[in-house]
Amino acid sequence: MNLPYLTTDLPGIGGQLKTEPEDFFVEEIPLYPPAGQGQHVYVEIEKRGLSTYVAIKMIARALNISPGDIGHAGLKDAQAVTRQTLSIDRVTPEAVAALNIPHIKILRVNRHYNKLKIGHLAGNRFVIRVRQVTPEVLPRAEAIVAMLMQKGVPNFFGEQRFGHRENTHLLGETLVRRDAAEFVAQYLGRPQPHEAPHIQAARQLIDEGHWNEALAQWPSNLPDERRVLAAILRAGGQPEVAFDALEVKLKSFFVSAFQSQLFNELLVNRLDTLDRLENGDVAYIHGRGAAFVVGNAAAEQPRADRFEISPSGPLFGPKTLMAEGEPGQRERAILAAKGLTIEDFKVPGLKLEGARRPFRINLKQAKMEWDEGLLISFELQPGAYATTVMAEIMKNHDKERAGP
């Protein structure tokens, strides 16, 4: 997914990201400190080479609890060194402090009253090293960062949101459409060239309708897919059971990816006026997370210039606050092109309401120096993708744009 650049007139520096996990460091900035008492154990971990979901499953297994008892405020990339806080129910601080799990270091343990949920953080702090560049690229990087700090960083969803097979948004669309047959084809079938030969073979059996043979060959490292396949087999090959066999978290993730893809499409068309309000826009209030419909864009523009508010796009849902005027027409047109309405996002089993997401993000505390490569540090708000910043700086369309 080659997303356009805001700084397209400024040459990038090239280079390579994530040569080593240590080249990409991210640390959560907590929204609040733990109270020191309460039902939930708050643990700050440092993980290396593990996704958040994998780390949670490993911790749950070690504590003999369900992964559902563990809360998190954000998802962190696997190919990185990351620090984040988890909340854990049904355990003691002593049990958590005693954990000894490969690639997971326990940093701090405390107690708090509530379970952590997505968004319960003030932001993320990044330190990223770009290798295979020379010190002469520093002025180019500084010019790009100056423009990003002035206008804002395009708040694209990164490619991590769309999965290793780059089809999580398509899976989400099948859920919204209630198209079980297409979901099964996307989720279990259609082998891709980059997948291992034994995975391709198993997926090919799905495409051919050989359910028993596919289950016998299904890789053990794909347990979620295996669970869905087993349910279909028990139902005599009926794809409709796939939705019930799918974990709620995965359903939510897939639908979220579809919302993200629609948001990205709208943002692409808004890139040239990223920092300018239009009549009918839904303005996002950065300090509060609230939003309102803009009646007089000229009167509100000074607030946008101060980065108090920004134009926003929809994460479509049945209760999404829709824009009016020309911005509203664009939002409804992107759904109409797919034959959908916001009511179609009432997906069974999900409490999906919809939301607004700012089209731009504020780049804070940006600093650069030379240290075995170009070392860049900065802070971003929750949910923003650091490698969207890096994509603008490097302009390597073929490099991965991963998440925080």
Q: At what angle do helices 197-207 and 180-188 cross, to 10 degrees?
A: 160
pLDDT at 82: 96
| DSSP assignment of 219-251 | -TT-HHHHHHHHHHHHTTS-GGGHHHHS-HHHH
Whether pLDDT at 401 is above 70: no
232 vs 188: CA distance, rounded Å: 11
pLDDT (tens digit per residue) in 112-131: 999 999 888 999 999 999 99
pLDDT at 335: 97
Catalytic residue among 9, 23, 69, 77: 77
Domains of the chain: 32-118 (3.30.2350.20), 181-246 (no CATH), 274-361 (3.30.2350.20)
Q: Residue 384's pLDDT band (boundaries 50, 70, 90)?
A: confident
Whether 305 is catalytic: no
Which residue shows structure tokens 């080659």? 2
Tokens (6 digits) for 222: 């794909």
pLDDT (tens digit per residue) in 271-321: 999 999 999 999 999 988 899 999 999 999 999 999 999 999 999 999 999
Average pLDDT for 165-175:
96
Q: State how far the alpha carbon of 191 is from the alpha carbons of 188, 200, 206, 229, 240, in Å.
A: 8, 5, 9, 15, 21
